[in-house]
Amino acid sequence: IDYALWEVILNRDSPPPTRSVNGVEKAYPPTTAEEKLARKHELKARGTLLIALPNEHQLKFNSYKSAKSLMEVIKKRFGGN
């Protein structure tokens, strides 16, 4: 069991980086090594959850962008089974 991956699924690794431009918060691509690693962990966690879904459900759940929100919807849909 990959406990680090499970931790990312439950708690997210870190919020997406944002910058304020003219008073508007905008997301930007990760630039530091820590931001890149956090993004890699988030994508791995989300991908692992999507792979675990039956094929007929993958398109329904693909719109969720974070592993945590995806996990919450999967629990709600499948009832923790």
List, for residues 41-73, the tens digit of each pLDDT value.
888 888 999 988 988 888 888 888 888 888 999
Give the count of domains, the chain. 1
Mean of pLDDT values over 30-43: 81
Beta bridge partners of 47: none
Q: Give which of 8, 9, 10, 30 is closest to 19, Cα–Cα.
A: 30
pTM of model > 0.95: no
Q: Token pair 């930007």 is at which residue?
A: 28
Which pLDDT does position 22 carry in this prediction? 80
Q: Which domain holds residue 19?
A: 3-78
Backbone phi, psi, residue 63, to 5° = -75, -15
